[in-house]
Amino acid sequence: MKYEKLFQPYNLNGIPLENRFLMAPMTRSRASQPGDIPNALMAEYYAQRSTAGLIITEATQVSLQGMGYAKTPGIYSKDQIEGWKLITDAVHRKGSKIFLQLWHVGRVSSAKVNGLQPLAPSALMAQNTSVYIFDGAANGDATFVPVDEPKEMTKADINKVIAEFVQGAKNAIEAGFDGVEIHGANGYLVDQFLRSNSNKRTDEYGGTKENRIRFLIEISKAVVAAVGKEKTGIRLSPFISFKDMNDPEILETIMLAAAELNKLQVAYIHLCEADWDDAPQIPNDFRKELRQTFKNTIIATGNKTPDEAESLLQENLVDLVGFGRKFLTNPDYPQKVKHNAVLNEISDNHTLFGGGTARGYTDYPFMQI
């Protein structure tokens, strides 16, 4: 077989996966209103894509405060837990495994989304950054609005958010998930604490790199204690700087965090890599250092071709490879790779975010064998 490693089974800290394909988290904004509740249409969407060995759900807010975009699902209410059960049941019936991505957007929000002033490590507004709402446009499109100035978090705020991540993790396990992924990437709250340009605190959560990783490590320790190390993963994005997140110290900071996460023996580190055409590539030196620093599973996601994925796996630089848009439009993506079949393309950009019907969501065709 051309892609021998990609199609090999994998043991994720005791969780058996049928292959090395991972469906990456992708925000789709289909949660039912009011209440941001997962629903049967979402269950159909994820079940269709259970051809992946592991699915990571779309980012899911741990509280209303943590919400940054309209119609994204939550994991803090009983109705949300019950909604997610539809999805985990459907995915497990198809033979795949599924982790829930726990999310707090921090300063990347607006009162127009959730009625609340955003929270952040420091009272610094992200420049050139917008979020979206649905304000009744005739074509159903999202409307982008600038983020609001955030409030600097107090120690009480920090403790509350850590508790929300813990409760979100417990709720996810109650909902039937195989584990959870702490979203520490892409300019959201945990990432904001990691970076020197967004974190100007002078207490134990700011200043030095050791202090800036404290929030991530405290959340990780608390979640591990609540649901187990084998059910806890972390997503990081060392080479992504959009949402006003350019920090010259971030690579050293991420490696310091990786060493601490290794001590906790979390299940995996998931590298969110830039996915646009002229994006910076993660150098192999960084991958090799991460492999030496962190001993458990490493995942790479970022517009990889099957050839690139197979090469990373063969070189033992990663253990799983995430695919996003390929799974969005090709629910049977692994089978299409195996048979070198023609791939579906995005049918309508208007259906990427929002909508309550199958169009552009669950109507992408499977390969005919």
Domain boundaries, the chain: 10-351
As annotated, the active-site residues are 188
How much is the pTM? Answer: 0.97
List the one residue out of 117, 25, 15 whose CA is nearest residue 72: 25
Do you find a cis peptide bond into 34, omega within 30 degrees of 0?
yes
Residue 337 clears pLDDT 90, i.e. is over it: yes
Residue 247 contacts residue 241 (beta carbons within 8 Å): yes
Q: What is the dihedral of CA 28, 40, 23, 98, to 10 degrees?
A: 130
Q: Which CATH class is domain 10-351?
A: alpha beta
- Integer Cα distance of 100 and 114 in angstroms: 21
Q: Are strands 21-23 and 54-61 parallel, antiparallel or unpaired?
A: parallel
∠ at Cα 137 (135, 140), nearest 5°? 100
- Integer Cα distance of 7 and 92 in angstroms: 19
The pLDDT value given to residue 265: 98
- Integer Cα distance of 288 and 22 in angstroms: 21
User: What is the residue type of 256?
Assistant: L
Which carries the bigger pLDDT value, residue 333 or residue 303? 333
Average pLDDT, the chain: 96
Confidence of residue 276 (pLDDT cuts 50, 70, 90): low
Task: Enumerate residues 6+ apart whose C-beta is below 8 A from 161.
Answer: 62, 63, 65, 66, 104, 119, 153, 189, 219
Residue 282 clears pLDDT 90, i.e. is over it: no
Other Cβ atoms less than 10 A from the Cβ of 298: the count is 20
Cα dist from 202 to 180, 199, 205, 212, whole Å: 31, 9, 7, 10
The neighbouring-strand residues paired with 321 are 21, 300
The neighbouring-strand residues paired with 16 are 11
Q: Report the b/e string of 172-193 with b at 16+ CB within 10 A.
A: bbebbbbbbbbbbbbbbbbbbb
Lookup result for tokens 């299940």: 267
User: Sign (positive/negative) of CA torsion 40, 42, 48, 53?
Assistant: negative
- First vs last C-alpha separation in the chain: 18
Confidence of residue 279 (pLDDT cuts 50, 70, 90): low
Task: Enumerate residues 6+ apart whose C-beta is below 8 A from 328.
Answer: 26, 346, 364
pLDDT digits (tens, 9 = 90+) for 124-149: 999 999 999 998 766 778 999 999 99
- pLDDT-above-70 percentage for the chain: 97
pLDDT digits (tens, 9 = 90+) for 52-89: 999 999 999 999 999 999 999 999 999 999 999 999 99
Residue 289 clears pLDDT 80, i.e. is over it: yes
Of 181-185, 242-246, 288-292, the one with minimum mean pLDDT is 242-246
Please state the rounded mean pLDDT for residues 234-246. 92
